[in-house]
Amino acid sequence: MREYYPHTGRSSGPFAMVAMVSVLACCAADGRRADADDDQDTESGGGTDTGSGEECEAVDFPIAGRPPSFLIVLDRSGSMQLMDSWTNVVNAVTIVTAQLDWQVRFGLLLFPDGQQLCAMTSPFPEVPLADITAPQIAEALNSAAPDGGGTPTARALLYGFQHLLSLDDDSDRFVILATDGAPNCSDDPGLTCAGGCVSSVPGSCPMDEVCLDDQAVYGHVSWYHQNWGIPTYVLGMGEVIEDWGTVMSNTASHGGTGDYYPALDPQALVDALQEIAAENTTCTFEVDWGALGPGTSSDPDLVNVEADGEQVVFSADCENPQAWHWLDADTIEFCPGLCHDYKWGVIHVIRATFGCETQVE
C-alpha cells in the first residue's frame, strides 16, 4: 500500500501549467521603442518596472505549456453512501478542480449511470475534458447521488480511455479511478464467480453481475498504459478497501502507477489529488519567439519573469532556488524552490515580459 504523508507547512492549491506572457510594447534596455501591432490589445494599467523608473506597456501573450489532462472516473454505486465516502470525494474533487482549473484540464465520468444493477448506457463522460471545467464538474457532482447499482469499473474505464484518445492535442493524459470497492458487472457472459464474488448478500452468488471482474480491469489499464502511454491512478475510499485493497493495488500496478492511494478522509483525498497533479507537471516553458509579434524584442537578455505580480530574479546556475534560468535557447525553467511553489499553488499567476533588461540579483 502506498504510504501517504500530508504536505504540511505549504499552501494548498494549484500548480500552473499554462502561464501568460506579457509582450513588452516599449522601453527596451537600450532605449529603443518596440511598438506592438495596432491590432493588439494593450493591457490596461499593465507594465513592468525596468529598475530605472521606466515602465513598459504590455499586451498578454500565451507562453507554450503542456497542461496535463486528467479524467476522473468516479464510482457512484450505492456503497459510496457508507462512511461519507461520496460526500468526501465530492468535496475533494470540487476543491481541487477549482484550484487547478486554469492550469490542468479535467473531465468527469460517473459510473454506473443509473439505478439498475449494471447500467452503463452512455460511453460519454458527464463532463468532457476541456479547459476550465470546474463549474461543470461541480454542477454534475451536486446533481448526482450514490444510488447506482453495481460497479461496472471495466466498462467505465474503457469508455474513459476511448474519450482520452479522442482528444485532438498532444497533452499528457491520465485516468484517476476513485472507487470504494471491487469491480463487477462483467461484459463476459462466460465469467463465473469462481474468481470471487463481490456481493455479500446471501444467495446472490453465483450471478454474472456480482462476479469479481478484476481481470478485465487489469487488462484495460495495462493495455492503455503500455500501448497508449495513459497511466491509471487509483484512489481507494471507505472501509471496504480492507477487503479489496489487493484489487486496487493490482489495478494501480497494471496501470503503471505503483500502488493505490488510501483516501479514507477528506484531507487525504485532497492531498492525493494534489500529489497526483504535482507529480505530473513540469516547470519548463517553451518560448515561441516567432509568435511574439512585429517589433517585439527576441533578445533572451531582455526577458523577465513575474510570479503573482512580483518580480522573479534570474539565476543562471539556480544558486537562488526562487529564481528562473534558461534551460536552452527556447526554454524557461524554474529553479527548484520556485518550481516547488509553482507545483503546489503557493504561487499561481506566472507572467513573462519581453523587451526590458533581465533582472538579476
Q: Which of 29, 40, 95, 106 is nearest to 69 (CA)?
A: 106
Cell of 71: 479524467
- Report how far residue 348's alpha carbon sits from residue 334's, in angstroms, rounded to the nearest whole number: 13
pLDDT at residue 54, rounded to an integer = 54
Mean pLDDT by 10 residues, the chain (361 residues): 35 36 37 32 41 50 70 92 89 91 89 81 92 95 87 96 93 95 87 81 74 95 98 87 86 97 90 91 83 80 86 95 94 92 78 85 76
| Tens-place pLDDT, residues 244-288 | 889 999 999 999 999 999 988 889 999 999 999 889 988 888 888
| Tens-place pLDDT, residues 60-75 | 454 556 778 999 999 9
Task: Write out the H or E segment, with its range, that includes residue 160.
Answer: helix 153-165
pLDDT at residue 340, rounded to an integer = 86
pLDDT at residue 57, rounded to an integer = 52
pLDDT at residue 34, rounded to an integer = 31
pLDDT at residue 65, rounded to an integer = 60
pLDDT at residue 81, rounded to an integer = 85
Instruction: Give every CB contact of residue 228 below 8 A, 6+ residues apart in sequence.
Output: 161, 164, 165
Facing residues of 178 across strands?
Answer: 74, 235
pLDDT at residue 318, rounded to an integer = 96
pLDDT at residue 116, rounded to an integer = 73
Going from N- to C-terminal start, the domains of the chain cover 20-64+284-354, 69-279
How crowded is residue 15: how many other Cβ atoms within 10 Å of its Cβ?
Answer: 25
Instruction: Give every CB contact of residue 267 below 8 A, 6+ residues apart in sequence.
Output: 6
Facing residues of 106 across strands?
Answer: 70, 130
69-279 sits in which CATH class?
alpha beta
